[in-house]
Amino acid sequence: MTDAHTLFDKVWAEHEIVRQDNGECLLWIDRHFVHEGSFHAFNQVKARGGTVAEPGLTFGVADHYVPTRHRREIANPDIARMVALLKENAGTHEITLFGLDDPRQGIVHVIGPEQGLTLPGLVIVCGDSHTSTHGAFGALSFGIGASEVAHVLMTQTLWQKKPKRMRVTVDGALAEGIGAKDIALTLIARIGADGAQGHAIEFAGSTIRNLSMEGRLTLCNMSIEAGARCGMVAPDETTLAYVRGRPFAPQGDMLDRAAQHWQTLHSDADAAFEREVTLAAADVVPIVTWGITPADALPIDGAVPDPARESNPARATQIAEAIDYMGLTPGQKLTDVRIDRVFIGSCTNSRIEDLRAAAAILAGRTSKVPGLVSPGSTSVKRQAEDEGLDRIFRTAGLEWAESGCSMCVGINGDLVPPGERCASSTNRNFRGRQGPGARTHIMSPAMVAAAAVSGHLADARVFLAGRKG
């Protein structure tokens, strides 16, 4: 055995209570987020006559199903009931709730960091696959199923098998107009949508260290789209600066003591990873998806692939099916792909940095298609309005909504109509993800804004030329 450990190993070891012969480990859970879709798990707790073991470590958030418009009286009775059940369960079990009437409400993966609930070295779970987002702080965070949610509610522990370790190193300076979403899509296009299956990814290198916390959150959010169990970035001064002063974060001497420990949360020089992947920042360019998985992504100056040129028969079939669903033509230039609407939001790209990036392109311009902008939290919404970003979006012709998962998931009334094509800052472009028959192209917020003012997929750098955003 070596004394050198990865960041993932260190956090896992601090939370492992017991390990069985079959490799299953019982982990202590530091933070458990639940949302309105978690009512199944609360029903299981009730059916077993149980209670929430650690209500102070469980936090409820209304975000997935809630409408971003007209939500004083939710029109859909099923959704209204789910929101009411979340409030009822939170009250019964004395759980802190960030509900619709709370000024801190927002998407769970936005408000966790925003409120200081997400901290380095914690183990964080939620009944949502994009819980990997919180790994940007050097936390071990991952999504769990309904039965696992019930187990955590009743025991504050969870059985898990330890994944393998994978390091993705990115070095160099990113060019203007290129960000974390472009890095993520470039990685996924290279290794595939299941390229990191069975692994925990650690993102490292000078490019990653120079990312803001918002950028790191985007990167870890997208790690699940590469098939990873989670994504992590070692905490540093950028992390500490973000955490300092947050409502639920340690304060004063407690923060100083915590920071001393956080500084040990990094991979040792000789730590071994089962897989290493390297990217050069200079090779990362504006990128968009053309197909029906995040791995179907190409630089904006590329063209739709031709299945007839694919040597692998299975891949050729996949390409042909994706092209058919998306209504594209083999060899078609991506910049010739016209869009019907845009969406800026989701747990991937709805933070203030994301809104600023989109506004930098939209300022003084008009969108050629309708669109919706949904900030990641009520706090982000207020900050954006204080900065005048909402006026830029509205003047451009886009709708400014409340916070929530919105058009990312298509279960809350915010839908892309069947057959329409949407340029979206979300994380998934699966069939029907944004509504039955919807065609989704995922990209960075800046690229969404460029598509909006063009009416087709476009290079954001063209619209940033001559502007200092």
Q: Region 178-204: what's the mean pLDDT? A: 97
pLDDT of residue 467 exceeding 80, the answer is no
Task: Examine the domain organization and report whether 392 and 253 are in the same domain.
Answer: no
Task: Examine the domain organization and report whether 253 and 293 are in the same domain.
Answer: no
Sign of CA dihedral 435, 438, 444, 445: negative
Question: How many domains is the chain partitioned into structurally?
Answer: 2
Task: Examine the domain organization and report whether 51 and 183 are in the same domain.
Answer: yes
Q: Choose the final residue of a domain: 275, 295, 320.
A: 275
Task: Examine the domain organization and report whether 313 and 447 are in the same domain.
Answer: yes
Give a yes or no: residue 1 inside a domain. Answer: no
Give a yes or no: residue 282 inside a domain. Answer: no
φ, ψ for residue 283, nearest 5 deg? -90, -5
Q: Region 283-307: what's the mean pLDDT? A: 98
Q: What is the pLDDT of residue 208?
A: 98
Radius of gyration of the chain (CA): 22
pLDDT of residue 465 exceeding 90, the answer is no
Query: Side chain identity at 189, as an amino acid letter?
Result: A
Give a yes or no: residue 2 inside a domain. Answer: no
pLDDT digits (tens, 9 = 90+) for 31-87: 999 999 999 999 999 999 999 999 999 999 999 999 998 887 898 999 999 999 999
Q: Choose the final residue of a domain: 243, 275, 307.
A: 275
Give a yes or no: residue 182 inside a domain. Answer: yes
Strands 371-373 and 399-400: parallel
Q: Region 175-185: what's the mean pLDDT? A: 96
pLDDT digits (tens, 9 = 90+) for 234-267: 999 999 999 999 999 999 999 999 999 999 999 9
pLDDT digits (tens, 9 = 90+) for 75-112: 899 999 999 999 999 999 999 999 999 999 999 999 99
Q: Please give the Cα distance from 175 to 179 (Å, whole number).
A: 8
Task: Examine the domain organization and report whether 270 and 297 are in the same domain.
Answer: no
Give a yes or no: residue 59 inside a domain. Answer: yes
Q: Choose the final residue of a domain: 245, 275, 305.
A: 275
pLDDT of residue 1 exceeding 60, the answer is no
Task: Examine the domain organization and report whether 330 and 429 are in the same domain.
Answer: yes
Q: Region 109-136: what's the mean pLDDT? A: 98
Give the pLDDT band of residue 306 (cuts 50, 70, 90).
Answer: very high
Which is more confidently placed, 468 or 270?
270
Q: Region 348-353: what's the mean pLDDT? A: 98
Q: Region 338-353: what's the mean pLDDT? A: 98
Supply the mean pLDDT for the chain: 96
pLDDT digits (tens, 9 = 90+) for 127-167: 999 999 999 999 999 999 999 999 999 999 999 999 999 99
Q: What is the pLDDT of residue 116?
A: 98
Task: Examine the domain organization and report whether 355 and 217 are in the same domain.
Answer: no
Give a yes or no: residue 310 inside a domain. Answer: yes
Task: Examine the domain organization and report whether 118 and 255 are in the same domain.
Answer: yes
Give the pLDDT band of residue 2 (cuts 50, 70, 90).
Answer: low
Q: What is the DSSP annotation of 417-465? A: PTT-EEEE-SS---TTTTSTT-EEEE--HHHHHHHHHHSB---HHHHHT
pLDDT of residue 289 exceeding 60, the answer is yes
pLDDT of residue 468 exceeding 90, the answer is no
Give a yes or no: residue 281 inside a domain. Answer: no
Q: What is the pLDDT of residue 406?
A: 93
Task: Examine the domain organization and report whether 221 and 350 are in the same domain.
Answer: no
Give the pLDDT band of residue 3 (cuts 50, 70, 90).
Answer: confident
Give a yes or no: residue 426 inside a domain. Answer: yes
Q: How many CB atoms lie within 10 A of CB 90?
A: 23
Q: What percent of the chain has pLDDT over 70?
A: 99
Helix axes 352-362, 213-223, angle to 10 degrees: 100
Of 67-81, 98-112, 355-369, 375-389, the least confident: 67-81
Domain boundaries, position 385: 287-464
Which is more confidently placed, 3 or 38?
38
CATH (domain of 224): 3.30.499.10
Task: Examine the domain organization and report whether 117 and 37 are in the same domain.
Answer: yes
